[in-house]
Structure formats: structure tokens, C-alpha cells
Structure 1
Amino acid sequence: MSEFHGHGHGHGHGHSDGPAPMGPVAAKVVVGLLVAIGVAVLLGVIALWPGKPGVDVEQPFQSAQGGAVVTESGTVTMQNIGDCGSPSAGRVFTGTPLPPPAGAYECQRSIVDIESGPNTGTQTLLEIIPGPGQPDLRVGEKIRLSRQTVNGTTEYSFEDYARGVPVTLIALAFAAVVIAVARWRGFRALVGIVVSFGVLVLFTLPALLDGQPAIPVALVSGAVILYAVLYLAHGVSLRTSSALLGTLASMLVAAILSYATIEMTRLTGLSEEQNTNVQTYIQHVSITGLLLAGFIIGSLGVLNDVTITQAASAFELASLDRDASRRQIFGSAMRVGRDHIASTVYTLVLAYAGGALPLLLLFSVAGRSIQDVLLSDAVAIEIVRSAVGGIALALSVPLTTAIAVMLARPIGAGPSGSAPAVKPSRGGRHSK
């Protein structure tokens, strides 16, 4: 068996990713499976590729002309509390707005310079009654204005705060830190993020809008993302391939569990306003299908994190101790995996609890029992989502570890200590 062992040793010195012998049967099986899955995914993309759905902009989201809302940029140049009802409110003007009628009510008045669109260089007046949910504008603040034409007259209203510059700076800071610490691999991971969003925007969402079944769309989308992200971030190697195969298998488990749990618990998703809007205005899209797709795609990040760690652990352990058996490597890597599972499980729960604080606060004000709160549709969705992700996560650890161990210490490489690990191969030793 030393001929394979010597082969593995030589590759361990040649590559930083640890031993990667391409000859063993396990390596051929894994590569063959990934190629076959890749072909199936490509066929799935072709079969599910959306046409041009041409979904109309529905009433709550359209302008007065029935089209998409058009926004322009503006800067607040004047702000005070005064009489409202000016004929200039929402209209385009230069100079001073027209005065309000006598005895008008008071509100927050803001003069805004229009800085984009056909009325660039002019101004408009925003009149806002202070209250919960209303914007509190300040002089010098950048905002977005919605522009529409009503009876031949252009009108402007407050749309949102302008966040382009701060969000861009935060994103650049994130990219700079990732690249500074992870260097070239960090840059490739950022490219993987761009690819992931591209898949979601160009394929997943249009396919769902086109009425394609949610589970195949989510599985194909997830597989494309995983192939791109893992190989971009971690390079093309047997170590990455073992993590990819483990993640793909775990994603399939997550899909089956998601379908079963949603059917068992009869979750509707209608407790969330955006899902209600989808059901009302895009009736051919299944809310249950959206939940399923969300469960599947949402599990990819945590699965990828764990599987790549397990694969790396197995290969590093095999590289550090040439005399270790497959059983010993598997046991050591599983100890790492158990710690990872424990930390990730409570990370999932705490992440949900942090994001759901407003919802939980409303439940507590309503005086409902903890049982009612936990079993309500809104909270139960996240409990089931976390449980499905946790089960898939736990199962991914031994599965990925086993695959990685078979590649890092192939069958035929020799058990621990039974043969010198560094001796050159002897071609005739095991010939029959």
C-alpha cells in the first residue's frame, strides 16, 4: 500500500492544500459526481430559464401614470415649522414659495433643491406633519424625491433618505478589510458575492416570477452559487471539491426537510407584510414556494462555512500526521466539527432574536402567552427555518468530513504506522 502513500506524501509537499492524489478511486468518484451534478445543474438552468414575464407594476407601487415610481436626488436648503397649505407644496418653483392661505395649520416645511432629472436647478416645497413614521429633515440633508406628473403638472414628494454615499463607503470599507486580511483569496470571495447576487437577480427572481416551481429553482440557484463561490474563494482542489460535494448533499437534505416541515406545520407566511403583498399582487407566485426557496437558499451560507472548515481540518490533519489512520483523522476533525456545530446553532438563534426584537416587543405588549408567541406564524417560520438549517448543518459535518478524509487519506494509502510514511514507493510490493 506504500505506493499510494508515497504518492500522497509527494503531493503534500508540492501543494499548500495538503495531499491531493488524483489517482485513487475516491478522488475519481468525487470529481465524477461533481461533473455529473454540474451538467445536471446546467440542464436545470436551461430548462428553468425564465422568459420575459412582463409583470405590471401594481397599484401600491406605481406612479399616477401606472408605471414605476421615478426618483430624483435633492438637498434640503431650508427647514422650519410654519403655516402649511402653500400652493407651491410639491410643485416646481424658483425663488420663494407662494404663501399658504390664512389660518392654515402648522407643519414642518422644507425647501429642497432638485439636483437630478428634468427640473434640475429648481426647487420644491415639502410639507410634512410631524408624527410617528414621518421623516424629520434637516438643512443640508440629501434625500430622494419621487417625481410624477398629475394632470400635466409635475409633482414631487419625499421618497426616502439618500444613502448612496454612506452605504458605498461602508461597502468599500468591508471590501478593503477583507482584502487586507485575506488578500487574493478575500478578493475572490468578494467576486463570489457579486456572482451570487447576479444569480439571484438574473435567474432566481425572474424564474419565480415566471411561475417556475420553487424547489427546483432554489436547488439550481444554490448549486450555481456554491460552484462559483467555493471554487472562486478556495481554489480548485480536492479539498474544495469535498466541501462542495458535502454542501450540495446537505442542501438537498435542507430542501427535503423544508418541504416536510412546512407541510407538517402548515406555515403560510402571510404574517409578513411583503408575503401578503406578493399574494395580493403577484397571485401566480406561491407563498409556500417562496418560503421553501428562502429556507433552501438561506441555509447555504452556514452550510458552506461549516463544510469548508471540515474539509480544511481533515486535509490539514492528514498532512501534519502522515501516520494517522483515516479513523483517527475523522475523529479529530469531528471534534472540531462538534465545536463548530455548537457555536453555529446558538448563532442562528441569537441572530434571529436580534432581528425579531420589534416583533417580540409587539407580542409582549399584546400580553400573549409565550406559547402563543412561539407558535404564531411569524415566529414559527423562523423557528422552523433555524431547525431545518441546524439539522442540515449537523448532518453536513460527518458527511463532509468523511468525504474529505477519503480524499486526504485515500484507501490504499496505508493505515497508521503500518508502513513508513516517507519511504519512496515500491512498485512491485503489492503487485499480485
Structure 2
Amino acid sequence: MGHGHGHSHTSGPLVLPDHEARRVRFVLAAVIVPLVLAAVVGMVVLWPRGEGSPIGSRPFAAPGASLETATVTSLDVDDCRQAAASLGGSADASLLADALCARITSGAGKDLVLPVHVPTESRRVADVGDRLQVMYTPSALAGGTPYVFVDYQRQLPVAALGVVYLVLVVAVAGRRGALSVVGLLLATAVLVLFMIPALLSGRSPLAVTLVGSTTMMLVAVYVAHGISVRTTTALLGTFAGVVITVGLSLWGTGAANLTGASDETSVTLMSLVPGLSLTSLLTCGMVIAGLGVLNDVTITQASAVWELHAANPGLSRARLFTGGMRIGRDHIASTVYTLAFAYAGTALPLILTASLIDRAVVDTVLSGEIAEEVVRTLVSSIGLVLAIPVTTAIAAALCPTTAAPAAPAPEPDPVADPGPDSGPREVRRGRHSA
């Protein structure tokens, strides 16, 4: 905490006296420095080392196959059926029923227009000019074409959206917006370079979650908002919310008998990474999913308390807390349904599929797949709700309390309340003017 905190801790008009600044710096340093040290030590201890990284250890393509690129030229496979036959493939219509024509743009078949097998669900959105990723398998030539659809190439539209996002953030939020993007990138680096490798290497998911979440918060918050009393207050509130969320998610997954193996991806992951606990991984996901919203409300809540203090430095800590909680209730009301809608949108295909089954509504909601989303929403919401009064209490405790200045004595009215010497003089003046 720099010396500048002794004078201005916020972007607003709040200025603390030097003795109050020293008190606040001491209290925050006594809490935040051990938290930073714990995060650093935790990352050093949990960092995967001495063993090969499991990331990228599984080949994407089968032996002899390669990943290539192509561009759709026609949705009618008849336009390129003869090209496949000229390469020695079969021209049987049944073997090419789900294919379309594409110009191969890399690999051995570059510049050839050949059939590409595309699944029905992916073919519905295909159009001429779309760029594809395809798997080239030479041994499949006898089946009509050696090229099979893998995915669409999305680099251009995603990059365009990214550029628009960056431009708008910087244009609207200025330097603070640019710093928030930098904080996001650094927090993402913690997730990708530390948390994912540590989880795949068999480290304790609970320990990785606490250390990783703390590090992500420290980096993102301080880079985006700067090192100040306000941001440190919000950071402490966020950390309290994370601890609460971790505890609730551990209890919730155990009490509700959630296995974490509710979809095919989870089952595949368990087979590829022996010893990985899907239940613990579910807990980790619950914490990370609510981290952004949790930090958002604590930053806003801490700012609200400090602004109340700046507007009226004479408010007691109890008044600051009650005033801040009036604002916090609005935060709770808005963010709770924000979380619910976010999770509902993510699980919408699952909800629609479950709705087609002739089953009681309660049983459907409490089925393994949907129950995970319900518990995730409830756990994150409870952590969010409890983080608001914790943040408000911390902010109110750190605000200096000063006695309200005494109201100045009113000017005496010489007519209504004449002094001992002015009475006769005023009377004589009145008589003279009469």
C-alpha cells in the first residue's frame, strides 16, 4: 500500500486524514499481506512439476490421419461426385448422402473440390463459402471421400467480436476499461497455466480452487481498479464469499449426492484422468462460475459505503452499515435472478430435453443433471448474498468516524431580540422615523 493512500483512496472526493490513513493501511496490510503470501506459497506448492504435463498428451487425430482445412463450394454433393470417383472412391449415392462439396485448402488434396461428410446437425447451418476443419484419412477413400467434417473455422467472426469488444470497452471506460481487460487476461492465464494443469495432475481440487481463485481475484481486481482501500475492501469481501461458497458447495454436493458425472464429457474425463474426483471438480466449477458476479457486487458495495462516507463524514459506522445495506438489498435482488437466468440459459437444451419426458416436475428438477444446476445456482446465490453484508461491514469499519461539526450560532436579530445597548437606540430610531 503506497503512501498515496494517506491522501486519496478513491476516485471520488474522499480524503482521509494522515492518522486515519495509517490506521486503514495497517489494518488492510495485516489481512491482505498474509493472503497474498498464502496465495504465492499455495501456487508454488501445488504447481505441477517433475511429471509430464497431461495437457495435449492425447492425440486429436487417429494414426495416419491429419487435420486439414476446406471451404464449402456447394451443398449438393452431385457437383463433386465425379471428382471422388476419379480418385478411386465409390460413387454410391448412399455413401455420400450426408456430404457436401468443399475445396480442400491444405494438405495432400489442396485445391481439389471433393465431397466432405458432414453430420446432419452441422450441415443445417452450412452455406457456400463457410470454412471448415476436416479430418483427412487416406484409408477412407474407398468409402467415397477421405475427408470428414470436424468443425467450422470461427477465427474471423470471433476475432471481429473481440476487436469490437476491446474498442467499445476502451472507448466507454477509457483507461480503467483497458486495465480491466488486462486484469481479465492475467486471471485467465492463472486459470489456464495453473489451475487446469494442477487439476489434471491430481492436485487437491479444493486447494487448487482456493489458491487459484484468490490469485485470480488479486490480479484482476488490483490491475483493473488499482491498489486502494476501496478495492482491498471489496477483495476481502470477495474472498469471504469464496470461502462461504466453497463450504456450501462441499456440503451441497455431499448432501444431495451429486456425482458430477451427469454428462458424457465428465465420464470421458474420468476415464482419461484416473483418480480425478468429479465431485470435487463440480465444487471447483461452482466457485469459478460465481467468481465474476461475486467480485462485481463487492466492488460496487464497497464503493457505495465509501461514497456515503464521503457525502457525510459525520455518519457513524452503524449508520454507514445500514445505509450501505439499503443499497446492498438492490444488489441482492438483481444479481440473484442474474445467476439463475445465466445458469438456465447454459442448461437450456438439458431443460428442454427433460421437459419431453413424462415425469413429475419435482422429480425432473431433482434429477442428477438438473439438480447440479439448481445446487450451483443456490450455492452461488447464498455466497453472493452473504458477501454483501460482510463487505459492507468491512467498509464501514475502515471508514474514519468524525464528530459532526457543531452548527454555527444564528445571527441575533436586532429587532426580534435586541441587545441591552441596542434596545433604546432602535426604539429612538423608530420614533424618529415615525
Same fold (TM over 0.5): yes
Maintained 8 Å contact 1:97/1:125: no
Match of 2:359, SS?
Answer: coil
The structural deviation recorded for 1:65 is 1.5
* Residues in 1 aligned to 2:74 and 2:212: alpha-carbon distance in whole angstroms: 49
CA contact (8 A) 2:199 2:208 kept: yes
- 1:278 Cα offset (Å): 1.0
C-alpha distance in 1 between matches for 2:317 and 2:150: 61
CA-atom RMSD, angstroms? 3.2
Q: Corresponding residue for 2:236?
A: 245
Deviation at 1:102, TM superposition (A): 6.6
Is residue 131 of structure 2 the alignment partner of residue 142 of structure 1? yes
- Corresponding residue SS for 1:261: helix
2-structure distance, mates of 1:360, 1:12: 50
| Bigger mean CA deviation after superposition, 341-350 or 12-21 | 12-21
Q: Partners in 1 of 2:217 and 2:403 — Cα distance?
A: 33
Distance 2:207 2:93 in 1: 63
Q: CA deviation at 1:139?
A: 2.3
Distance in 1 between residues matched to 2:169 and 2:9, nearest whole Å: 28
Please report how far the alpha carbon of residue 185 of structure 1 lies from its aligned counterpart in structure 2 after TM superposition.
Answer: 0.5
Please tell me the residue identity of whatever aligns with 1:75: T
Amino acid at match of 1:320: A
> 2-side partners of 1:191 and 1:149: how far apart?
45
2:111 is matched with: 122
Q: 1:140 to 1:97 in 2, by over 3 A?
A: farther
Q: Which runs of 4+ in 1 moved over 6 A?
A: 56-59, 83-87, 151-154
**Cα distance 1:134–1:124, how it changes in 2: closer, same or farther (>3 A)?**
same
TM-score, normalization: structure 1?
0.83
Residue equivalent to 1:55: 54
Amino acid at match of 1:373: T
> Are the counterparts in 1 of residues 234 and 301 from structure 2 also a CA contact under 8 Å?
yes
Cα deviation, 1:337-377, whole Å, max 9, x if unaligned, reads: 11100111111112222222221211121111111111111
Shift of 1:149: 5.8
1:414 alignment partner in structure 2: 402
Distance 1:277 1:15, change over 3 A: closer
Q: Does 1:345 align with 2:336?
A: yes
3-state SS of paired residue (1:113): strand
* Cross-structure match for 1:16: 12
- In structure 1, C-alpha distance between the alignment counterparts of 2:126 and 2:378, rounded to whole Å: 43
Q: Are the equivalent residues in 1 in contact too, given 2:80–2:115 (CA < 8 A)?
A: no
Q: Tell me by how many angstroms 1:273 deviates.
A: 1.8
| Counterpart-to-counterpart distance in 1, 2:387 and 2:55 | 42
Superposed, which structure 2 residues align to 1:59-70 within 5 Å? Answer: 62-65=60-63, 70=66
2:101 maps to 1:111: yes
1:404 aligns with 2:404: no
Letter in 2 for 1:190: V
Ranges in structure 1 where 5+ consecutive residues have no aligned partner = 1-7, 90-95, 421-432
Shift of 1:386: 1.1
1:32 Cα shift? 1.9
Q: 2:84: which partner in 1?
A: 88
State how far apart, in whole Å, the 2-side matches of 1:376 and 1:358 are.
15
Displacement, 1:27? 3.4
Deviations 1:3-45 (A, max 9, x none): xxxxx99935996372355644343122221011100110000
Instruction: Provide structure 2 residue ranges, at least 5 long, that are not aligned to the other structure.
Output: 409-434
Residue matched to 2:70: 74
Q: Can you list the C-alpha shifts for 1:384-421, whole angstroms capped at 9, x where unaligned? A: 111111111111111111111222x22xx32445699x
| Matched residue type, 1:398 | P
- Bigger-Rg structure (1/2): 2
**Corresponding residue SS for 2:381:** helix
Offset of residue 131 of structure 1: 3.7
Q: CA deviation at 1:130?
A: 6.9
Q: How does 1:237-276 map to 2 (within 5 A)?
A: 237-276=228-267
Give the count of matched residue pairs: 400
- Which residue number corresponds to residue 384 of structure 2? 393
Q: 1:418 to 1:261 in 2, by over 3 A?
A: farther
CA displacement at 1:241 relative to structure 2: 0.6
- Quick check: 1:74–1:113 contact (8 Å CA) kept in 2? yes
> In the alignment, does 2:191 pair up with 1:200?
yes
Q: Compute the TM-score of the two structures, normalised by the length of structure 2.
A: 0.83
Select the structure that is richer in helix.
2
Deviation at 1:210, TM superposition (A): 0.6
1:176 matches 2:155: no
Alpha carbons 2:77, 2:115 under 8 Å: kept? no
1:215: Cα distance to partner? 0.6
Question: Is contact 1:147–1:155 with CA below 8 Å preserved after alignment?
Answer: yes
Structure 1 residues 10 and 354: CA distance shift in structure 2, 3 A = closer
Higher RCO structure, 1 or 2 (CA under 8 Å, sep 6+)? 1
